[in-house]
A and B are shown apart, each in its own frame.
Chain A
Amino acid sequence: MLRDITIGQHFPGNSLLHRMDPRVKLVLTVAYIVMLFVGSNPAGLAISIVFLTALYLTAKIPLKMVARSVKPILPIILFTAVLNLFFMTGTSEPLLAWWIFKIYREGVYYAIVMAVRIICLIAGTSLLTYTTSPIVLTDAIEQLLKPLARLHLPVHELAMMMTIALRFIPTLIEETDKIMNAQKARGAQLDSGKLSQRVRALIPVLIPLFISAFRRADELAMAMECRCYHGGEGRTRLKQLRLHASDIVLAAAAALVFAAIGMSNLFFERIG
């Protein structure tokens, strides 16, 4: 059952977005997030929804995936919506008044705009992870942050840690599965009993897992040393990231859309 867990829900594919330079995708995603806040008004949000829908269709990712990625943070969306609904005071007459609660038109307006904004935020960032494998994303982050290495930020080390983590997650999941089965065979009750009992039953799973992880780390470090690993200095890469003409076209198109989102502020009042 643990084996089914996937990390960084990546949808392999061969669409224009899948083939796009991950650095460009990353920069555009960050820019998109910024624009969501800058152009936080009905027109701006409408443009971003259209833009995002077009991108999802290009990437051939089913739109119901958006629902799936929004689901875990639905409570947060509802919570902020409720807060806006009740605590926003307006100038006009309240639409609804009951006991100490008063709901104004502005409250409804804010609640809707904020909720849509969060959903766009999640859908936009999900699109990045759907179309980019975690390892390619790591490469892109390393490349983009490279200038910061001059400020003695451990950029290469962080990227290496990410890579190793991604490499070992399946291995460790498999191992956890094995240990859990071994403990169950000894009579451990891992999926029944009270919560406190279940938490306590996890200890004999976690301890062997930790010990094994440390042993693995030790051996891996030695194997890396044997293959002449000595940090990021003077390192070259097998896979070179290359900017293609299509990347530039897409980036330009995105820039135009972002400009439109920014302009929408001229016609509508910015919210939030």
Chain B
Amino acid sequence: MKEMLKADQITFRYAETGRPAVDGLSLTVRRGEYVAVLGANGCGKSTLAKHFNAILLPETGTVTVEGMSTADEDRLFDIRQKVGMVFQNPDNQIVATVVEEDVAFALENLGVPPDEMRRRVDEAMRMAGVYNYREKAPHKLSGGQKQRVAIAGVVAMRPDCLVLDEATAMLDPIGREKVMRTVHRLNREYGITVVQITHYMEEAAAADRVVVMSEGKIALEGTPTEVFRQVDRLRALRLDVPQAAELCHALTQAGCPMPDGVIDVEGCAAALYRLLTGRDAPDAENAKEVAACPQP
């Protein structure tokens, strides 16, 4: 089965009368894919995320996880085990007073025998890079470390998909970088599908696919290059673009012949090098160097 998550024409309202938080939205996420979801505050990203593991059920339409409908109560724990959720505030998702016991929490709930649990907990802590803090108290860890403990707690369930709802929003740059590296490694090495809601354009630029939401609907969708070249469209949706894309856009508008679809620093540096020297940047390594030093 290639489809990991599938939302089909779903609508959801918090209050009977209010306007829908998610409005006739359809989205399919393939197995192993890394999807970033962008959108202004209050556009329904979290509401959508909560549909993927049956925390919320759609008013109309259906959500399926590997073919299982989230409305099927008998499969509730199968679904929650397959789709792990990580939230914004690491403090509010850690239950136990010792790291390894928190990582074991889901397995304890699922009734996994202690010997097997020990193995899976150790494995999950290594995968999330928190093995060295396994006996520490969570409140003694930094934000980034806590968030990776939360990820380990979800990974211990051996999920096929991770849904991260602004999981890096409260972290300092170093913590964010480490969490992102962990998530990308889980995606690449273990084939875990990732749906990441974020406000950081640099994070979205590293995804396979970007989905931009607005007022409960999908406004834009495509590869990061396809999405971020539409600078004006994104601005209208009250979103930023990655700084490199913004620079290229500004240069193009000022009449500089910049190539289309540059969204990262390396690509931008290479394009500028070509523009200024008339030669191709020798290699990617060099382009990074060029990016690092300001041109006279």
Give the interface size class of chain A: 20 to 34
Q: Are B114 and A237 in contact, CB atoms less than 8 angstroms apart?
A: yes
Q: A167-B138, A216-B91, A219-B93 are in contact. List 19 more A-B contacts (CB 8 A).
A: A135-B96, A163-B95, A164-B95, A167-B94, A174-B139, A223-B92, A223-B95, A225-B80, A226-B53, A226-B55, A227-B84, A227-B157, A228-B81, A228-B109, A228-B157, A230-B109, A236-B114, A238-B114, A238-B117
For A169, the closest partner residue in chain B by CB is: B139
B109:A227 contact, CB within 8 angstroms: yes
- B89 interface hit (Cβ, 8 Å): yes
Closest A-B pairs by Cβ, 10 of them:
A223-B93, A227-B106, A238-B104, A219-B92, A170-B139, A226-B85, A228-B109, A234-B111, A135-B97, A167-B97
For window 31-55 of chain B, which residues contact chain A by CB distance below 8 Å? Answer: 53, 55
Which of A171, A219, A223, A240 is most buried by chain B, counting CB atoms within 10 A of its CB? A223
**Chain B residues whose CB sits within 8 angstroms of the CB of A225 once the complex forms:** 55, 80
Q: Across the interface, which residues of A come within 8 angstroms of B118, CB to CB?
A: 238
- Asked if A166 is an interface residue, CB under 8 A from chain B, the answer is yes
Q: Which residues of A contact B106 (CB under 8 A)?
A: 227-228
User: Which residue of chain B has its CB nearest to the CB of A164?
Assistant: B95
Contact of A68 with B by CB under 8 A: no
Q: Is the CB of A226 within 8 A of B91?
A: no
Q: Are B114 and A219 in contact (CB under 8 A)?
A: no
> Which chain B residues lie closer than 8 Å to A220 at the CB level?
92-93, 95
Chain B nearest CB from A163 CB (Å) reads 7
CB distance from B187 to the nearest CB of A (A): 19
Residue A239 interfacial (CB < 8 Å) = yes
Q: A238 near B93 (CB under 8 angstroms)? A: no
A229 contacts B by Cβ under 8 Å: yes
Q: How far is the CA of A111 from the CA of B112 in the complex (A)?
A: 56
Say yes or no: is B59 at the interface (Cβ < 8 Å to chain A): no
Given contacts A228-B109, A228-B157, contact A171 B101 (CB under 8 A): no
A235-B108, A238-B104 given as contacts; is B85 within 8 A of A167 (CB)? no
Q: Given the complex of chains A and B, what is the CA–CA distance between A163 and B110 in angstroms?
A: 19
Give the residues in chain A near B80, CB-CB below 8 Å: 225-228
Q: Which label, helix, strand, loop or mixed, suits the secondary structure of the B interface?
A: helix
Within 8 A of B (CB), among A131-155: 134-135
Distance between Cα atoms of A107 and B112 in the complex (Å): 61
Report how many residues on chain B are interfacial, defined by Cβ distance under 8 Å.
40
Q: Which residues of B sit under 8 angstroms from A50, Cβ to Cβ? A: none
Known: A171-B139, A227-B154, A228-B77. A235 touches B111 (CB 8 A): yes
Closest A residue to B89 using CB positions: A219
Residues in B neighbouring A215, C-beta threshold 8 A: 92
How far, in whole Å, are A227 and B103 apart by their CA atoms in the complex? 10
Say yes or no: B85 contacts A223, CB within 8 Å: yes
B220 at the interface (CB under 8 A from A): no
CB distance from A125 to the nearest CB of B (A): 21
Interface residues of A (CB under 8 A from B): 134-135, 163-164, 166-167, 170-171, 174, 215-216, 219-220, 222-230, 234-240
Distance in angstroms from B32 CB to nearest chain A CB is 22
Q: Which residues of B contact A216 (CB under 8 A)?
A: 89, 91-92
C-alpha gap A238/B150 in the complex (Å): 17
The 19 listed contacts between A and B (C-beta, < 8 Å) are: A163-B97, A164-B95, A167-B96, A167-B97, A167-B138, A215-B92, A216-B89, A216-B91, A219-B89, A222-B87, A226-B55, A227-B105, A227-B106, A228-B110, A235-B109, A238-B100, A238-B117, A238-B121, A239-B101
Give chain B nearest CB distance to A151 CB in angstroms: 23
- How far does the Cβ of B183 sit from chain A's closest Cβ, in whole Å? 17
Decide: B139 and A238 in contact? CB cutoff 8 A. no
State in angstroms the CA–CA spacing of A240 and B113 once bound together. 11
Interfacial chain A residues near B154, Cβ < 8 Å: 226-227
Residues of the A chain whose Cβ atoms lie less than 8 Å from the Cβ of B139 = 167, 170-171, 174
Chain A hits for B98, CB < 8 A: 135
Interface assignment of B241: CB less than 8 Å from any CB of chain A: no
- Report how far A134 CA is from B96 CA in the complex, Å: 12
Q: Are A236 and B87 in contact (CB under 8 A)?
A: no
The answer to whether B107 has its CB under 8 Å from any CB of chain A is: yes
Contacts of A236 in B (CB 8 A): 107-108, 111-114, 117
Closest residue of A by beta carbon distance from B105? A227
B153 on interface, CB distance cutoff 8 Å: yes
CB distance from B134 to the nearest CB of A (A): 11
Q: CA separation between A227 and B104, bound complex, in Å? A: 10
CB neighbours (8 Å) of A171 from chain B are: 91, 139
Question: Which residues of chain B are near A135, meaning CB under 8 Å?
Answer: 96-98, 101
Question: Could you tell me which residues of chain B, from 53 to 68, have a CB within 8 Å of some CB in chain A?
Answer: 53, 55
Query: Closest residue of chain B to A237, judged by CB?
Result: B108
Chain B neighbourhood of A234, CB < 8 A: 111
- The chain B residue with its CB closest to the CB of A238 is B104
CB distance from B243 to the nearest CB of A (A): 32
> Which residues from chain B contact A239 at a C-beta distance below 8 Å?
101
